[in-house]
């Protein structure tokens, strides 16, 4: 967990107890996709009690400091992805689960870089499947 402290500091964030606990859940294994609610209940389930306000707070601050990426899938809730590299998503409509698509798996031609003089800030691709 000492590396998590470093990770937070490197992102310019104070390693508080709550942020470390959340980081431990999010960043210790493989990449994952969470919602505020799923994170809150998973932590609660394992005996880690952090207020929902803090969960939201931390998800937002992690996102603005580049530790997470927010994904718009569904207007009814926000997903956060621990994979911050460029990539795309499959979305399983029945289970409401996400799966990463490696950027090399999907070629886009031409890859836009500008539009009307504005820079492209991100390219979001969601492939919805009926399962």
Partner DNA sequence: TAAGGTTTTTAGAACTATTCTAAACTAGTT
Partner DNA sequence: AACTAGTTTAGAATAGTTCTAAAAACCTTA
Site residues (CB under 7 A) for DNA? 13-19, 35-37, 49-54, 56-58, 60, 75-78
Sign of CA dihedral 102, 32, 77, 10: negative
Q: Which of 121, 98, 13 is nearest to 57 (CA)?
A: 13
Which of DNA, a second copy, none does residue 56 bind (CB under 5 to 8 Å by kind)?
Answer: DNA
Q: How far is the CB of 63 from DNA (least distance, A)?
A: 10
Is residue 104 a contact point for a second copy (CB under 8 A)? no
Q: Which C-beta is closer to a second copy: that of 14 or that of 114?
A: 114
Specify whether the CB–CB gap between 43 and 58 falls below 8 A: no
Of 21-29, 44-52, 61-69, 90-98: span binding a second copy (CB under 8 A): 90-98
Give how far Cα 43 sits from Cα of 55, 77, 118, Å: 10, 19, 41
């Amino acid at each position: 967990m000492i590396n998590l402290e470093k990770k937070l500091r490197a992102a310019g964030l104070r390693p508080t107890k709550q942020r470390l606990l959340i980081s431990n859940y999010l960043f210790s294994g493989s990449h994952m996709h969470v919602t505020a609610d799923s994170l809150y209940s998973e932590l609660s389930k394992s005996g880690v009690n952090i207020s929902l306000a803090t969960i939201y707070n931390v998800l937002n601050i992690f996102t603005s400091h580049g530790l997470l990426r927010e994904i718009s899938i569904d207007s009814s809730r926000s997903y956060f992805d621990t994979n911050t590299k460029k990539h795309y998503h499959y979305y399983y409509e029945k289970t409401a689960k996400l799966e990463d698509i490696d950027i090399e798996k999907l070629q886009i031609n031409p890859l836009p870089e500008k539009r009307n003089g504005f820079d492209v800030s991100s390219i979001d691709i969601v492939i919805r499947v009926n399962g």
